[in-house]
Amino acid sequence: MPIAVYILGLSVFALGTSEFMLSGILQPLARDMDVTIPQAGLLVSAFAIGMVVGAPTLAAATLRLPRRTTLIALLAVFGLGQVAGALAPSYPVLFISRVVSALACAGFWAVGAAVAVSLVPFTARARAMAVMVGGLSIANIAGVPAGALLGQTAGWRAAFWGVAALSAIGLVGVVALVPRTEVPTGEDRPQLRRELAIYRDKQVWLALSATALNGAAVFALFSYLSPLLTDTAGLAESWVPTVLALFGVGALIGTYIGGRIADAHLFPTLFGGIAASTVVLAVLALTAHNSVAAIALSLMLGVTAFATAPALNARMFNVANAAPTLAGATTTAAFNIGNTLGPWLGGLVISAHWGYPAVALTGAALAAAAVLATGLSYRAQRSAGSTSRLVASSDEPGTHEPAAHEMAAEDRSAPAGTKRL
């Protein structure tokens, strides 16, 4: 695996820490800003909304810019957004800083994903994406618990300063180790019209739906995991960083498993992981008052949720070969549509006074819907034949790229060469 892919994963560690850390500092932040827990939870949705808008918008706007330059600029803006959050004097200012940070984060994810898959052989796409998603997993193991600990000891603003420092480290790595690239010219020049053609493919929309629903299922609970652990399971606030770290350990395990098996067994990985998340969330809804069960199931949810992430990313790149930049942007947007929907629905459940276990049940229902969307995607895949591809035009060079085989029993042949930026 090229070192540049690992550098992208390191940068994602900073992005992921910022995105997820609010779950560990929700209560002190809400107290300091004098807002309710659901209102504080909307900061998670604000970040996700910025990701949804920013991913396709910035991907399209920077389509003809050098990718390395784009990554550097976006990571710098993201770091400045963290500084603004740390200094925010009020809730509205903090809200805006989250949206701005998310826009930069979304653009980095979209371009970074395209860079990562372009640096590896076609048959290693899920593994490359597993490295990037692994940055999120490690963020949950180390970054999010550290942010929670900082929030409890030095104030929630210290967590934002910490992420700003991580962003600076990632920026140095991108500048030093991600290869320089020139903007393609001639017939290889990126064309927005060609990339937008992916949205005529129903399989792209099915993949997007499965990804969004899966993200919503996880974030409906994860956004409110801290108060569930303290108010329902009866744990002290000091336990929250430990449980968040366990979730992160599970996420790292899941990412490793998913990255290893998804290239050869894509749909089994999707079905197995999402169905397992459905069961874990449903059991958690029934046993949330038991502290041991709540801790164990938090770990298990990390495994099941992140085992599907490499497969979901690879699936989108497989059905949108003609548009690698927008494929990455679409996947990022889909994840964050779910990350917007989940906390919003969870907040409605809490505001209705149904209790935190009902949030887990809401997540289970969303995961079940994701299983259904995956089933429809599988059916469409079978109807189309053993492979999925998007051909923008029969006479446009560069659009005829073999799609990865996605069934365990099917032939796994694919080009062995490495496609460069």
DSSP 378-412: HHHHHHH-S-----S-TT-TT---PPPP-STTS--
Q: How far apart are CA 296 and CA 252, in angstroms?
A: 15
Q: What share of the chain is helix, strand, coil (3-state, %, to 5)?
A: 80, 0, 20
Supply the pLDDT for residue 79. 93
User: Considering only CA atoms, which of 350, 13, 44, 39 is closest in space to residue 223?
Assistant: 44
Please compute, for residue 82, the number of CA atoms within 13 A of its CA located in the half-sphere on the CB side.
27
Q: How far apart are CA 402 and CA 125, in angstroms?
A: 13
Supply the pLDDT for residue 112. 82
Contact 243, 235 (CB under 8 A): yes
118-146 in b/e form (b: 16+ CB < 10 A) is bbbebbbbbbbbbbbbbbbbbbbbebbbb
Measured CA to CA in angstroms, residue 112 lies from 13, 82, 192, 263, 311 at distances of: 13, 20, 18, 20, 17
Supply the pLDDT for residue 48. 74
- Cα torsion 32, 33, 38, 39 to 10°: value is -170
Q: How far apart are CA 403 and CA 414, in angstroms?
A: 8
371-403 in b/e form (b: 16+ CB < 10 A) is bebbeebbebbeeeeebbbbebeeeeeebebeb
Q: How far apart are CA 288 and CA 209, in angstroms?
A: 29
315-328 in b/e form (b: 16+ CB < 10 A) is bbbbbbbbbbbbbb
Length of the chain, please? Answer: 421
Contact 101, 85 (CB under 8 A): yes
Three-state DSSP at 221 gives helix
Task: Please enumerate in sequence order all residues whose Cβ is within 8 A of that of 343, keeping only pairs 6 or more positions apart, or say none.
Answer: 41, 42, 44, 45, 48, 219, 220, 223, 224
Contact 139, 20 (CB under 8 A): yes
Neighbours of 189 (CB within 10 A): 12
Supply the pLDDT for residue 287. 94
Supply the pLDDT for residue 415. 33
Q: How far apart are CA 195 and CA 181, in angstroms?
A: 20
Report CA torsion sign: 289, 291, 293, 298: positive
Structural domain boundaries in the chain: 3-178+190-384
Q: What does each of the 421 residues of the chain score in pLDDT, given as a tens digit?
A: 778 888 888 888 888 888 778 877 888 888 888 888 878 878 877 887 787 777 778 777 777 778 888 899 999 999 999 999 999 999 999 999 998 898 888 888 878 877 887 777 767 767 777 787 777 767 767 777 788 788 778 888 988 998 999 899 989 988 888 887 665 555 556 566 766 777 777 888 888 889 999 989 988 888 888 889 998 988 887 788 788 888 888 888 888 888 788 777 888 889 999 999 999 999 999 998 999 999 999 999 989 988 888 788 778 777 766 566 677 677 777 887 887 788 889 889 988 889 889 999 999 999 999 999 988 888 887 876 644 444 434 444 433 344 444 443 333 333 333 333 3
Contact 59, 75 (CB under 8 A): no
- Give alpha helix (H) positions in 34-90: 37-61, 67-87
Neighbours of 234 (CB within 10 A): 12
Question: Would you state the structure tokens that stand for residue 216, as one six-digit string?
Answer: 């919503």
Strand partners, 135: none
pTM equals 0.67
* Superfamily for the 3-178+190-384 domain: MFS general substrate transporter like domains (1.20.1250.20)
